[in-house]
Structure 1
Amino acid sequence: MQRTKLKKVRLENHMTLEEVAKLIHVSTPFYWQVENGKRGLSYELAVRIAKVFSLKPDDLFFDEVLPKED
């Protein structure tokens, strides 16, 4: 499951993968895996990522947790 909202927010903030990775203290490949849904996401990491963009974790990740209702 790709985290398209996360990538969109990063690009809207004119940030590179490397910049975000450095701010949250992970490697660039690790962050790429998170952003592309190849790696799981702990609550702590979700908080650190959201903080970079001055958001709450739910603002970035909530839609991915609950299935969309028809």
Structure 2
Amino acid sequence: MKRELLQKLRKKNNLTQQEVAEILEITPVFYGMIERGERNPSLELAKKIADLFDSTIDEIFFNTKLYKLYNGQSTA
């Protein structure tokens, strides 16, 4: 399952996959695989990603409130 929200957050922050990977200290290939949903990050890495985008693990990886807001769905 492609993680479109993760891609939207990265682009909103004007970051490339390369830049995010450097911040997270992982390879750009691995970050791309996470963004495409081909690989899952460890809990520690998921937390770093959530912190980077001022979000939570749930919002980014489990399609909760933030996901719905970015996709024009009601959160009520």
1:68 is aligned to none
1:17 is aligned to 17
Give unmatched runs, 5+ long, in structure 1. 65-70
1:22 Cα offset (Å): 0.6
CA root-mean-square deviation: 1.4
TM-score (norm 1): 0.82
Q: Which runs of 4+ in 1 moved over 2 A?
A: none
1:6 is aligned to 6
TM-score (norm 2): 0.76
2: CA distance between counterparts of 1:44 and 1:27? Answer: 16
| One-letter amino acid matched to 2:22 | K
Aligned length: 64
1:41 Cα offset (Å): 2.1
**Higher RCO (CA < 8 A, seq sep 6+):** 1
Percent sequence identity over matched residues? 39
Give unmatched runs, 5+ long, in structure 2. 65-76
